[in-house]
Amino acid sequence: MQKNDVGKDRYRAMIEALAEGVLLVSRKHRIVLANKSAEEMLSWAAPLEGKDISAIFESASFSEALDSVFKEKRRRKLKLTSYHGFTGDDAIIRGKGREKHYKSCITSLDEKYAVITITDVTRIERLAIVRQDFVSNVSHELKTPLTAISGFSETLLDDGLSRDEIKGFARIIRKNSAHMQRIISDLLLLTSLDRSEIAPAMAVTTDTRILSEVRSYTQYKAETKDIEVEYESQGKSVLCNESLIVQAIINLVVNAISYSPEKTRVTVKARTRGSQMEFIVADHGSGIAEEDLSRIFERFYRVDKARSRESGGTGLGLSIVRHIAIIHDGTIKVESKLSEGSVFTLSIPLS
């Protein structure tokens, strides 16, 4: 089939179907044609046809780029950041999560017209920022215990220390290296959960088995604070990756113990609800303020850094729980009242 046989209407339909925004502009900077994606991306300026391009791309450098494309007949690529409307490739606007990022390419068609394509790269740009923040967080988290380890090992080399002093410093070193190990193993777990292309092995187990595993891992910690943990299950079957679900509930139980005063009560309940199995961990601890509730599942976010570190926390526990929930097509929810307590509900499909 000859190209021309396709017909004009199909060409137009093809341009309309593109996920990229496409604009046809005249030498005088007027928009002659705009496809559906362009109208959607730049909806605040719609309708686009007939408008001067400067009404959309405010920056002078964009107009210059367009002129140079006509003059030099070459292609220009630009990066654009917009906040309330476009402000150009060199705008440094940090509207923390609200700005949009676009990539744009201008190509001249002939003496009279040029084509501008626009791709929304907001998601990619945001991911890049998240990654940078993560790396700097990890470095910072590892630096704190490492500073203690190197400082106290230096002190250990001093002459004339008593046996008790030596033991005291060695204990601090041990505590801090254990903390580093916890951070690293949490990070490794998170990374392996992130690689979503490898689906974890699922098998049928029961809620009773899961909770008895959780108990064996958390019993000791509960005893050190004289906290009684009450378990309740129904012996129901559930399809899941047992060791991951056990890990998630351990994280919730450890938090319940860590952020509760001594001699209080924690309950861990498994129950079915419709096609879901719910694991509910409730405590009578410090509770979480409204403004922190939405952030506690973020990596390294803690309400009280010192308290978290003191109890051996890495700031990654809940983020691991959230990942494990997602992998199981499940959810994690929290209800909490300051100084009354918290209830975390992990919910996964039964099969």
Ligand X SMILES: Nc1ncnc2c1ncn2[C@@H]1O[C@H](COP(=O)(O)OP(=O)(O)O)[C@@H](O)[C@H]1O
Binding site for Mg ion (CB under 5 A): 255, 313, 317
Handedness of CA 203, 207, 208, 210 (dihedral sign): positive
Tokens coding 186:
């949490």
Q: Indicate the residue among 186 and 207 with the shorter CB distance to ligand X.
A: 186
Q: Indicate the residue among 241 and 342 with the shorter CB distance to ligand X.
A: 342
| In the complex, minimum distance from the CB of residue 349 to ligand X, in angstroms, rounded to a whole number | 24
- Asked if 68 contacts 102 with a C-beta cutoff of 8 angstroms, the reply is no
Site for ligand X in 90-149 (CB under 6 A): none
Measured at the CA of 277, the angle between CA 275 and CA 280, to 5 degrees, comes to: 145
Binding to ligand X by residue 285, rule CB under 6 A?
A: yes
Q: Report the 10 Å Cβ neighbour count for 248.
A: 31
Binding to ligand X by residue 183, rule CB under 6 A?
A: no
| In the complex, minimum distance from the CB of residue 170 to ligand X, in angstroms, rounded to a whole number | 25
Burial tier of 107 (Cβ tally within 10 Å: 0-12, 13-18, 19+): middle
Residue 24: C-alpha distances to residues 3, 68, 109, 264 (Å):
21, 16, 9, 69
| In the complex, minimum distance from the CB of residue 257 to Mg ion, in angstroms, rounded to a whole number | 10
Q: Indicate the residue among 57 and 259 with the shorter CB distance to ligand X.
A: 259
Site for ligand X in 294-333 (CB under 6 A): 296, 301-304, 308, 313-319
Q: Indicate the residue among 231 and 301 with the shorter CB distance to Mg ion.
A: 301
Q: Which of 259, 248, 252 lies closest to 225, judged by CA?
A: 259
Which backbone phi and psi does 45 adopt, to 5 degrees? -110, 5
Residue 241 interacts, among Mg ion, ligand X, none and using kind-specific CB cut-offs from 5 to 8 Å, with none
Site for ligand X in 254-273 (CB under 6 A): 255-256, 259
For residues 121 and 101, give the distance between their C-alpha atoms in angstroms, rounded to a whole number.
5
* Closest residue to bound ligand X by CB: 313
Q: At what angle do helices 163-194 and 317-327 cross, to 10 degrees?
A: 30
- Asked if 109 contacts 33 with a C-beta cutoff of 8 angstroms, the reply is no
Residue 45 interacts, among Mg ion, ligand X, none and using kind-specific CB cut-offs from 5 to 8 Å, with none
- Contact map string, positions 205 to 244, toward ligand X, x by CB under 6 A: ----------------------------------------
Q: Provide the binding-site residues for ligand X, judged by CB under 6 A.
A: 251, 255-256, 259, 283, 285-286, 288, 296, 301-304, 308, 313-319, 342
